[in-house]
């Protein structure tokens, strides 16, 4: 029974990831400072993909340490009269790698285009032009957790 609940929680967390448009990727930064950057992303299966410039602080940090944390806020409703916030979020802990295989790069860029520009003209031309000037980061989750206001839990169980 616990495994069924665990599978359901995992499916819910992936659904939250799939329906949102951005999150914050946290990486080990310079001099012991964390580096957190908002990013758009796409979920394919159990992987999460981000696009990036080929050089910069994020890429340097990932090359130094592949352990990352990615957070997506699904709901954030301030309920002033109750002195609370109705919130729901997902946190992914995992390992990130910079894709190098051209087929993997293309596939990830297509997933991002499917999510953000599904009917755009010139998609293939844009992807082809981006292959040599964009980095794609693949996040493989080790653990996915979630947090939700008790009021939302109670509404769902209703």
Q: What is the pLDDT of residues 46-62, one digit of tens each?
A: 999 999 999 999 999 99
**Residues 6+ positions from 6 with CB-CB distance below 8 Å:** none
Q: What is the pLDDT of residue 3?
A: 53
**How many beta carbons lie within 10 A of that of residue 90, not counting itself?**
22
Domains of the chain as residue ranges with CATH: 2-157 (2.30.110.10)
Question: Is pLDDT larger for residue 65 or for residue 153?
Answer: 65
The C-alpha R_g of the chain, in whole angstroms, comes to 17
Q: What is the mean pLDDT of residues 83-94?
A: 93
Buried b (16+ CB within 10 A) or exposed e, 8-42: eeeebbbebbeebeebebbbbbeeeeebebebebb
Name the residue among 53, 54, 39 with its Cα closest to residue 112. Answer: 39
Q: What is the mean pLDDT of residues 14-26?
A: 95
Q: What is the mean pLDDT of residues 60-77?
A: 95
Q: What is the pLDDT of residue 49?
A: 97
Q: What is the pLDDT of residue 5?
A: 66
Question: Is pLDDT larger for residue 118 or for residue 25?
Answer: 25
* Strand residues in the chain grouped as ranges (E): 22-28, 34-40, 42-44, 47-52, 67-79, 84-98, 135-148
With 0-12 CB in 10 A as exposed, 13-18 as middle and 19+ as buried, what is 148? middle
Taking phi over 0 as left and psi of -120 to 50 as alpha, with beta for the rest, 78 belongs to beta
> What confidence tens digit (pLDDT) does each residue in 91-139 have?
999 999 999 999 999 999 999 999 998 887 888 888 888 888 899 999 9
DSSP state of 45: T
Q: What is the mean pLDDT of residues 2-24?
A: 84
> Confidence class of residue 10 from pLDDT cuts 50, 70 and 90?
confident
Q: Chain-wide mean pLDDT for the chain?
A: 90
């Amino acid at each position: 029974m616990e495994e069924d609940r665990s599978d359901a929680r995992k499916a819910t967390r992936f659904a939250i990831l799939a329906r949102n448009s951005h999150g914050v990727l946290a990486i080990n930064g310079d001099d012991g400072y964390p580096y957190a950057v908002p990013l758009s992303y796409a979920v394919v299966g159990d992987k999460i993909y981000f696009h990036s410039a080929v050089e910069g602080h994020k890429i340097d940090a990932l090359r130094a340490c592949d352990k990352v944390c990615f957070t997506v806020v699904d709901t954030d409703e301030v309920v002033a009269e109750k002195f609370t916030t109705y919130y729901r979020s997902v946190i992914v802990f995992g390992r990130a790698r910079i894709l190098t295989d051209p087929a993997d790069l293309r596939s990830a860029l297509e997933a991002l285009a499917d999510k953000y520009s599904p009917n755009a003209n010139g998609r293939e031309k844009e992807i082809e032009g981006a292959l040599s000037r964009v980095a794609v980061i693949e996040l493989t989750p080790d653990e996915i957790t979630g947090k939700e206001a008790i009021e939302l839990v109670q509404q769902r169980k209703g």
